[in-house]
Every structure is written in structure tokens, then in C-alpha cells.
Amino acid sequence: MRAYAVKMFCEPLAPIEQPDPQPAGTEVVIDVTRCGVCHSDLHIQDGYYDLGGGKRLSLADRGVSTPVIMGHEVLGRLVAKGPDAPIADSEIGKTFLVYPWLGCGTCEICRRDEENYCPKPASLGVFRSGGYAEKCVVPHPKHLVDVTGIDPTLAATYACSGITAYSALTKIDIDKDNETLLIMGLGGVGMSGLQIAHALGFRNIVVADIDAGKRELAIANGARDAIDPRSADAAAKLAEAGGAAGAVDFVGAKPTAEFAIAALRKGGTYVVVGLFGGDITLSIPPIVLRAITIRGSYVGNLRELKELIALVRAGKVKPMPVETVSFNGVNDALDRLRAGKVQGRLVIAR
Ligand SMILES: [Zn+2]
Ligand SMILES: [Zn+2]
């Protein structure tokens, strides 16, 4: 089979040929028909996360070794199963979305299906081969999610951008009718977040983005207000209006974190999911005096993916913009994403 792999960090993906995978044990093989192109692929391609202050978190140190076949928004046809895979033969040929945030599969955390918190991650497209390939091996059929009735291009995006937004938003416990939810950044995940926030019942959403076009898009998609966080009085205005009860930061950079934390009301919660990078300095007494919560959220678990898919199936999540690109055009897609020129999500189709 053909695949595109990071052979050397910081270089374009290279086409490689591998033997077709033969499933062993409980494994199943997916013939990949869609794979979303995610911003975090750029970090994997670079080989590090920016920690700020000139420090880097190296992916090689985290156990990522080249060549890496990236791609973690994988959807495709089930074409083969291992001898111990607990799935009926009649399921062969059906299309599934793959839950990619795998762990070791055996620890306590994995056994309660919180594999995204496993200390030994085995995520598809990061630690294991992912979907920038013709075929993808999944260790167990329980990670296949039925998405019948959902457009496959759109469905693929729920495995990362969707689940990440969903899991972060469910960490915000506020009066959804009256209190303000602040969304920082309307990139692929942020846009998905805005749609899912509506589906979860948040009625009072303010979006902050430095891009005027994305602010317009936010208003067109039902945000109450869209602000430029660089304008001097934006945070103060939000605070005057009572402040944000919850904020989800889909960028995760120094300015977005500082802005969102400053905009919180007392007792508010800031959830960061973006991995842009950088660092912030926080005075400790205001954290106490304002009784704020600062927490991270990393992708989501299998239960959350299934809950999200149920919301989508119920017609509650407005589809976000998706654009298909060719399998052989994966490097172009990554370059476009790096240049920040993408509204919504690019999805490889084959
Ligand atoms: Zn992703
Ligand atoms: Zn585990």
C-alpha cells in the first residue's frame, strides 16, 4: 500500500510503499476513504511543540519515531479482521469512523475507556500509523464508530476537531441561557466548537479572533458578538459586561490565554485545547481571589465521540465547512494549513 510519511522532521511528507497490513489478534483493517488534515499534524511534521521562552517539547522525546504516517481523522471501509476481533463478518464492507486516541489498552485508565489519558499513548497518526495511507490498522473493533447517515467527509472531522471541541465544552459548567461563553480562535477546531456549543445549548457566545473574516463567519454562525482581542478595550468591555463565565481557547498562545483569563468572571473556568504554544506568567493571588479554574483538555474519550455522533445524527450540530483534497495532495494541504489560509477543515478523499 501507498502512504505518506514524515521521514525527517521539518520536511515534506514522502511517499512510501509498504506491504498491505494483515490483521492479527483483535486487529481490524480499514481501507481509508477520508482523512482530515489537522493543525496538530504541523507540530508532528516539525517534531516539536513550542513551550515558549525558547524551550521546545520534542516529539522524539515523547516517543514519536520516524517514519510517522500521520492522519488521525480516519474514516473508511472495514476490509479485514483478525481471528480474535469481536465483530461480525457481516460488518465487513461497512464504513466506520475510527476513534484514534488510543492508549496501551490494558491499564486501569484504558479499561474505563479514558485512553486519551493513558500514560502510554498509542494514538493513531502520532504513535501508530494513521490515515495518510491507503490502509490503516486499528487494534480493536470497539474503536470503530458507526456514522451511517452522516456525510463521510464531515464525519471524519469529528474524530479530532469535533471530539476536542466537544470534550472541552463539556468541561464548562455555566448557566447556558444567560452567562457568556467565550470562544478564542475560529480555526478548524474553533469553528467546530462554535457549532457544537450551539448544540450543547450555549445561548450567549462571544467569539474572539484577530481575523475580520473569521469574526464575520462567527456572527453568521450565531455568535452573539465577535471581537478583535487585539483592540485595547476588548477584555475590559467583556469584564464590564459581567465577564465570561467560561472560556475555551482553541489557539493556546500567550495572547489568547492572557486575554481569556483576564475576561473571566469570578469563579469562571478557562479551558485550553489549542497547542499553538508559548508561555504565560500568572500572579497567584488573583487566581485565589477570583476563584478561577485553569485547565487543559486533550482530545476526548470514546464515550464522548459517541455522544457527539449522536448529537450530529439528531441534526443538532450545524455542519462546518469542509473541503476535500486529493490523497496525493497532502503536502499542499499541510502547506495551506500552515499559511493559515483554510476556513473550516481540509479532508483527504480517496
Ligand atoms: Zn487533530
Ligand atoms: Zn493505558
Closest listed ligand to the CA of 116:
2
Closest listed ligand to the CA of 139:
2
Closest listed ligand to the CA of 114:
2
Ligand 1 mean position to 160 CA, how many Å? 5
Ligand 1 mean position to 130 CA, how many Å? 12
Closest listed ligand to the CA of 161:
1
What cell does 168 get? 472541552
pLDDT, tens digit, 9 for 90 and up, residues 264-315: 999 999 999 998 889 999 999 999 999 999 999 999 999 999 999 999 999 9
Q: How many CA atoms lie within 13 A of 239 on its CB side?
A: 14
Residues 134, 16 contacting (CB under 8 angstroms): no
What confidence score (pLDDT) does residue 321 get?
Answer: 84
Closest listed ligand to the CA of 102:
2
What's the CA angle centered on 192, arms 190 and 193, to 5 degrees?
A: 60
Ligand 2 mean position to 114 CA, how many Å? 8
Q: Is the model's pLDDT at 53 over the cut of 90? A: no
pLDDT, tens digit, 9 for 90 and up, residues 92-108: 999 999 999 999 999 99
Ligand 1 mean position to 163 CA, how many Å? 9
Q: Is the model's pLDDT at 51 over the cut of 90? A: no
- Label each residue of the chain as H, E or C: CEEEEECCCCCCCEEEECCCCCCCCCCEEEEEEEEEECHHHHHHHHCEEEEECCEEEECCCCCCCCCECCCCEEEEEEEEECCCCCCCHHHCCCEEEECCCCCCCCCHHHHCCCHHHCCCCCCECCCECCCCECEEEECCHHHEEECCCCCHHHHHHHHHHHHHHHHHHCCCCCCCCCCCEEEECCCHHHHHHHHHHHHCCCCCEEEECCCHHHHHHHHHCCCCEEECCCCCCHHHHHHHCCCEEEEEECCCEHHHHHHHHHHEEEEEEEEECCCCECCCCCCHHHHHHCCCEEEECCCCCHHHHHHHHHHHHCCCCCCCCEEEEEHHHHHHHHHHHHCCCCCCEEEEEC
pLDDT band at 52 (very low <50, low <70, confident <90, very high): confident
- Average pLDDT, stretch 176-190? 93
* Residue extents of the structural domains in the chain: 2-161+300-349, 172-296
What's the CA angle centered on 195, arms 193 and 199, to 5 degrees?
A: 110
Ligand 2 mean position to 111 CA, how many Å? 7
Ligand 1 mean position to 155 CA, how many Å? 14
Ligand 1 mean position to 142 CA, how many Å? 20
Q: Class assignment of domain 2-161+300-349?
A: alpha beta
What confidence score (pLDDT) does residue 324 get?
Answer: 97
Q: Of 143-152, 258-267, 339-348, which range is least confident? A: 339-348
Q: What is the pTM of this model?
A: 0.92
Ligand 1 mean position to 162 CA, how many Å? 9
CATH code for the part of the protein at 172-296 = 3.40.50.720
